Amino acid sequence: MQLILLGLPGAGKGTQAALLAERLGLLHISTGDMFRQAAAEGTELGLRAQRYMSAGELVPDELTIAMLLERIRRRDAAAGIMLDGFPRTLPQAEALDRALAELGRAIDAVLYIQVPEALLVARLTGRWGCPSCGAIYHQLTSPPRVAGVCDRCGATLTQRADDQPATVQARLDTNRVWTEALAEFYGAQGKLHAIDGTGEPAAITERLLAAIDGVTSGTGKA
């Protein structure tokens, strides 16, 4: 099975993709994570990507597509993939369709997690992490006992550069138009399933699984 999670930044793609991949035995591929890892390792790709990421801009298609296609051609992707954060532009979607066709595969379903934009902003700007032990907090759902201080180790919490308010707005603006274009592209292929992305994470997972069940059992679209 080849699945795509579509949604604006903050829609919860990463959390849900990890859970679903585990439940369904798929390889979770997040281009955001791949870029962050490359940046942390200081590779040339990582350093180039970093400049765009910290400004809330998209990494150019040429770099992104090459990295992703190389990943899906590896053997551990053959059992099925859960794409999170890719495709993010129409050229990426078209390149993906072509590459999968060469492998004798195709996208089965695109799950579009929809969340009102005001809630996205609140979710994105509220995320804080501990640079020392890696703990993650959120002002809305899991605040630290003392604001700005790690419960576990006492270090001062920091925000990812791209979670800072000005960058968050830029990320939403950059992604909104493309996300709508992608929804239309996959809608025309009859593969788009809209999922309500508000409420408890577990409830959202259930909605996603129900939509995927509908696809694998051949019933109608959600």
Interacting residues toward ligand ADP by CB under 6 A: 9, 31-32, 35, 52-53, 56-59, 64, 85-86, 88, 92, 162, 171
Measured from each CB, the residue nearest to ligand ADP is 32
88 in active site: yes
The verdict on 159 binding Zn ion (CB under 5 A) reads no
Nearer to ligand ADP, 59 or 82 (CB): 59
Which partner, Zn ion, ligand ADP, none, binds residue 53 by CB below 5 to 8 Å per kind?
A: ligand ADP
The verdict on 153 binding Zn ion (CB under 5 A) reads yes
13 in active site: yes
- Strands across the sheet with 2-6, in order? 27-30, 81-84, 2-6, 109-114, 192-196
At residue 167, what are phi and psi to the nearest 5 degrees?
A: -75, -35
Q: Compute, in degrees rounded to 10, the torsion defined by CA atoms 171, 173, 175, 177.
A: 180
d(CA 170, CA 161): 12
Catalytic residue, candidates 123, 171, 191, 207: 171
127 in active site: yes
Which partner, ligand ADP, Zn ion, none, binds residue 178 by CB below 5 to 8 Å per kind?
A: none
d(CA 27, CA 35): 17
Nearer to Zn ion, 153 or 181 (CB): 153
- DSSP secondary structure, 43-85, as one string: -HHHHHHHHHHTTTPPPPHHHHHHHHHHHHTSGGGTT-EEEES
Q: Are 61 and 28 in contact (CB under 8 A)?
A: no
Catalytic residue, candidates 36, 48, 105, 160: 160
Known catalytic residues are 13, 88, 127, 160, 171
Question: What are the residues binding Zn ion (CB under 5 A)?
Answer: 130, 132-133, 135, 150, 152-153, 155
